[in-house]
């Protein structure tokens, strides 16, 4: 439908034209543009005028059906951030807040009479606030977060319709993500962390069997789709609210409650495998914000059998994390967003919790037996992780390398045994450990024992590649001494030429294990040698 036609009808209703007529025109426009996300730049001014007209209509006393149709049109238009000027005003935001039944705070929560109308208004607010900095500022000034929290406190009492709850949670997530002042207000004044914990307890039917232990029924039916959507929105908001530290005792208590609930979430399945993975991803993101001292809650489960080898701790949820990691690796795409959080969570858990590290290492780095193949070749978890150590994305390769390094108790020799020097060189250079040694972590003294198979071939392993290589023919075996000298000088001249043209830069390892230009490394070595020889 031509935009001029829609504009003329909107302008006419402002002059008291027929509501039925404008509804008909907007319904047709909405049908044609329901999947439109890229708009014609030439019609930008017309769309601005249409937004302005819609806000004026919504501020008038018109039928709910007409308001809903106007909101649907406004939701479509609000996908274009360039036309939101007439909406992102105090008057415009107040109109939308009133239609979304958000203007109340505390006990005076407006009653929801038209669910469809409220849902469309909430959808509009989500789009407008996401796309407009001015709208974000106004939403903070008008205390939308307070109204949303008042609304969501009804979740566990009177109850809310699925879509009202969903888009209220989504709007709360957007406000907490886009405004640090709103985030602070939510945590301190509105007590939103406790509210979201209560909502999760209600959605997931949490039953506490210990201070920080949730009863988990592995035979429970899958989480319904609507409950899953609400849970994910709550987890996203909690992620934002836990970005900064909790310094008080009550805050630490809440973080342990969250950890226990996240353990339950990770043991929960939903209607589909993809939705389960998405839910678990949000839980892992949230857990990556939790201080390591609180993460012990994940394995301190008394109601289910533990494993004697790991101090009687229950490692079910750690296995879920490992399975999640492997699944994301096998997908072969979106490594940075998909893998970094789970790497971070497992690395820090293993660094500070001995039993978690021992369990993960037993799964990821079992005692070596077959070293005929390179560490990066094969289908084991170790092979997959070693391949990531040379990934093109710096963040991914650093995360994978750090994870393996911690499993090896930050011992360079142990790491090289499982990965080879070539794969580990990037991490060792960054940590100043090219000359060997250990990282700065504190670990138990128990030593890893090598298998008899590994011991028998250890002298024949190439330390660079990390495997036993087939004997290679010696290319200079048939050369005379003169030919060898000629080839050596030729090679030196080639390196010299590349160095002078600054195509390569020869490097050396300094005494502290870091790399530096060769001349600097040699100079430092000579100076230290002279110092040690002097009286």
Residue 488 has pLDDT above 90, yes or no: yes
- Supply the pLDDT for residue 443: 76
Residue 420 has pLDDT above 50, yes or no: yes
What's the whole-number average pLDDT of the chain?
89
Q: Helix, strand, or coil here: 68?
A: helix
- Supply the pLDDT for residue 1: 64
Q: Helix, strand, or coil here: 216?
A: coil
232: closest CA among 175, 178, 275?
A: 275
Q: Which comes out higher in pLDDT, residue 270 or 430?
A: 270
Question: 259 CB contacts (<8 Å, ≥6 apart)?
Answer: 212, 287, 290, 294, 295, 297, 298
- Supply the pLDDT for residue 107: 52
- Supply the pLDDT for residue 308: 67
- Supply the pLDDT for residue 529: 65
Mean pLDDT of 299-319: 80
Residue in the block written with tokens 């890893």:
448
CA atoms within 13 A on the CB side of 117: 20
- Most distant pair of Cα atoms in the chain: their distance: 105
Rounded to whole angstroms, the Cα distance separating 267 from 218 reads 7
- Supply the pLDDT for residue 106: 46
Q: Which helix (H) or strand (E) holds 235?
A: helix 225-241
Q: Which helix (H) or strand (E) holds 178?
A: helix 162-178
Rounded to whole angstroms, the Cα distance separating 230 from 199 reads 9
Share of the chain above pLDDT 70, in %: 93
Token readout for 422 is: 């070539």
Question: 96 CB contacts (<8 Å, ≥6 apart)?
Answer: 58, 87, 121, 124, 125, 128
394: closest CA among 434, 340, 325, 466?
A: 340
Give DSSP secondary structure letters for 382-440. Answer: HHHHHHHTT-SSHHHHHHHHHHHHHHTTTBHHHHHHHH-HHHHHHHHHHHT-TT--B-S
Answer yes or no: are the C-beta atoms of 464 and 421 closer than 8 Å.
yes
Mean pLDDT of 248-277: 93
Total count of residues recorded for the chain: 535
263: closest CA among 334, 172, 349?
A: 349
Residue in the block written with tokens 């005929």:
372
Give per-residue pLDDT as tens, 430-486: 888 887 778 777 777 665 677 888 888 888 888 899 888 877 788 888 889 999 999
- Supply the pLDDT for residue 105: 47
Share of the chain above pLDDT 90, in %: 65
Residue 164 has pLDDT above 70, yes or no: yes
Determine how many CB atoms are found less than 10 A away from the CB of residue 139. 28
Mean pLDDT of 293-307: 80
Rounded to whole angstroms, the Cα distance separating 192 from 235 reads 12
Give per-residue pLDDT as tens, 25-44: 899 999 999 999 999 999 99
Taking phi over 0 as left and psi of -120 to 50 as alpha, with beta for the rest, 436 belongs to left
- Supply the pLDDT for residue 400: 96
Rounded to whole angstroms, the Cα distance separating 351 from 441 reads 7
Token readout for 408 is: 């090896």
Rounded to whole angstroms, the Cα distance separating 259 from 319 reads 16
* Pairing verdict, β 213-214 and 461-462: unpaired
166: closest CA among 123, 198, 209, 124?
A: 123
Mean pLDDT of 203-208: 95
Answer yes or no: are the C-beta atoms of 139 and 203 closer than 8 Å.
no
Give per-residue pLDDT as tens, 70-105: 999 999 999 999 999 999 999 999 999 999 998 654
Lowest mean pLDDT among 49-58, 170-179, 234-243, 464-473: 464-473
Residue 232 has pLDDT above 90, yes or no: yes
Question: 130 CB contacts (<8 Å, ≥6 apart)?
Answer: 174, 178
Residue 535 has pLDDT above 60, yes or no: no
Question: CB-based burial of residue 275 (10 Å sphere; 0-12 exposed, 13-18 middle, 19+ buried)?
Answer: middle
Full 3-state SS string of 487-527: HHHHHHHHHHHHHHCCCCCCEEECCCCCEEEHHHHHHHHHH
Mean pLDDT of 413-418: 92
Question: 233 CB contacts (<8 Å, ≥6 apart)?
Answer: 166, 169, 170, 172, 173
242: closest CA among 230, 253, 255?
A: 255
Give DSSP secondary structure letters for 80-94. Answer: SGGG-TTTSSHHHHH
452: closest CA among 356, 335, 369, 516?
A: 369
Q: Which comes out higher in pLDDT, residue 14 or 496?
A: 496
- Supply the pLDDT for residue 369: 86
Mean pLDDT of 234-259: 91
């Amino acid at each position: 439908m031509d935009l001029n036609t829609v504009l003329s009808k909107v302008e006419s209703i402002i002059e008291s034209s027929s509501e039925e007529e404008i509804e008909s025109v907007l319904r047709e426009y909405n049908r044609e543009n329901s999947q439109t996300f890229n708009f014609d730049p030439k019609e930008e001014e017309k769309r601005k005028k249409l937004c302005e007209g819609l806000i004026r209509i919504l501020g008038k006393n018109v039928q709910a059906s007409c308001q809903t149709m106007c909101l649907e049109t406004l939701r479509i238009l609000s996908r274009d951030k360039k036309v939101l000027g007439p909406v992102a005003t105090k008057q415009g935001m107040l109109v939308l807040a009133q239609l979304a039944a958000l203007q109340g705070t505390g006990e005076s929560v407006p009653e929801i009479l038209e669910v469809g109308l409220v849902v469309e208004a909430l959808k509009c607010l989500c789009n407008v606030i996401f796309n407009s900095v001015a709208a974000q500022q106004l939403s903070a000034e008008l205390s939308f977060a307070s109204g949303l929290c008042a609304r969501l406190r009804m979740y566990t009492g009177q109850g809310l319709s699925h879509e009202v709850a969903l888009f209220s949670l989504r709007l709360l997530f957007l406000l907490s993500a886009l405004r640090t002042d709103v985030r602070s207000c939510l945590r301190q004044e509105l007590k939103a962390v406790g509210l979201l914990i209560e909502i999760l307890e209600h959605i997931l039917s949490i039953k506490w069997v210990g201070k920080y232990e949730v009863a988990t029924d592995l035979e429970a039916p899958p989480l319904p789709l609507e409950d899953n959507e609400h849970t994910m929105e709550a987890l996203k908001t909690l992620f934002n609210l836990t970005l900064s530290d909790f310094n008080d005792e009550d805050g630490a208590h809440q973080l342990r409650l969250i950890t226990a609930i996240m353990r339950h979430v990770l043991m929960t399945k939903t209607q589909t495998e993809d939705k389960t993975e998405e839910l678990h991803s949000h839980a892992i993101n949230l857990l990556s914000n939790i201080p390591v001292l609180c993460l012990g809650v994940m394995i301190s489960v008394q109601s289910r059998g533990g494993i004697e080898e790991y101090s009687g701790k229950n490692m079910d949820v750690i296995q879920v994390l490992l399975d999640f990691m492997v699944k994301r690796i096998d997908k072969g795409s979106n490594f940075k967003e998909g893998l970094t959080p789970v790497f971070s969570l497992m690395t820090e858990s293993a660094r500070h919790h001995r039993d978690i590290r021992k369990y993960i290492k037993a799964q990821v780095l079992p005692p070596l037996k077959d070293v005929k193949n390179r560490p990066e070749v094969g289908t084991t978890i170790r092979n997959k992780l070693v391949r990531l150590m040379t990934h093109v994305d710096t963040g991914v390769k650093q995360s994978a390398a750090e994870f393996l390094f911690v499993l090896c108790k930050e011992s360079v020799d142990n790491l090289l045994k499982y990965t080879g020097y070539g794969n580990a060189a990037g991490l060792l250079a960054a940590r100043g450990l090219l000359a060997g040694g250990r990282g700065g972590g504190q670990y138990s003294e128990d030593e890893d024992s090598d298998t008899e198979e590994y011991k028998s071939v250890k002298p024949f392993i190439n330390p660079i590649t990390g495997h036993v290589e087939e004997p290679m023919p010696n290319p200079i075996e048939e050369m005379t001494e003169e030919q060898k000298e000629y080839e050596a000088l030729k090679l030196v001249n080639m390196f010299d030429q590349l160095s002078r043209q600054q195509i390569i830069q020869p490097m050396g390892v300094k005494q502290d294990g870091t790399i530096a230009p060769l001349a600097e490394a040699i100079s430092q070595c000579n100076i230290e040698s002279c110092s040690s020889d002097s009286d």
